């Protein structure tokens, strides 16, 4: 039996054995809010994210968090490419997210720490 889905966050479960879950959700929300604040949401055709973590599961968690954080009223969600870079210990886990327009030009780039309480790095 699958754990119940959190009512405010479709695709994400209420329980997770990964401490990065909250930070991944927060990073997805912050990234979409940054795109909106910079008036880049409508120009975004592709999002690339690299999850630097000890395990691969956060890749799937971030994909679901990004899908849930994307505004429903927008013209459509961009293509998402989320990959795992298994090169860091859990204490050093971080996420790099980039948004590109249809021509492949970089619109926005952010890096987020994935430890509990970590804030955006850049």
pLDDT in tens, 39-94: 999 899 999 999 888 788 888 888 888 888 888 766 678 899 999 888 656 567 88
The pLDDT tens digits for 17-45 are: 666 778 888 999 999 999 999 999 989 99
Residue 104: pLDDT over 80 = yes
Choose between 86 and 10: higher pLDDT: 86
Helices marked H in 1-122: 21-37, 57-69
pTM exceeding 0.85: no
Instruction: Look up the domain containing 54 and give its range.
Output: 21-113
What is the side-by-side strand order in the sheet with 106-113? 79-85, 46-52, 94-100, 106-113
Q: What is the CATH number of the domain that holds 61?
A: 3.30.1330.90
- In the chain, the number of structural domains is 1
12 occurs within a structural domain: no
- Short-list 59, 102, 96, 56, CA closest to 79: 102
**51 inside domain:** yes
Tracing tokens 């039996």 back to the chain, one arrives at 1
Q: How far apart are CA 60 and CA 11, in angstroms?
A: 10
- Residue 8 belongs to a domain: no
Within-domain flag for 119: no
Is residue 7 a part of any domain in this protein? no
Examine residue 39 and state whether it is found in any structural domain, yes or no: yes
Tell me whether residue 74 is in a domain.
yes
């Amino acid at each position: 039996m699958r754990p119940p889905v959190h009512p405010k966050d479709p695709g994400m479960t209420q329980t997770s054995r990964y401490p990065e879950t909250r930070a991944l959700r927060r990073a997805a929300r912050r990234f979409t809010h940054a795109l909106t604040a910079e008036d880049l949401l409508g120009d975004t055709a592709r999002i690339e994210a690299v999850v630097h973590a000890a395990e691969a599961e956060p890749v799937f968690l971030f994909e679901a968090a990004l899908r849930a954080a994307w505004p429903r009223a927008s013209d459509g969600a961009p293509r998402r490419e989320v990959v795992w870079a298994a090169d860091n210990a859990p204490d050093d886990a971080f996420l790099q997210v980039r948004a590109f327009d249809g021509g492949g030009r970089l619109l926005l780039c952010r890096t987020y720490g994935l430890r509990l309480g970590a804030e955006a790095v850049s």
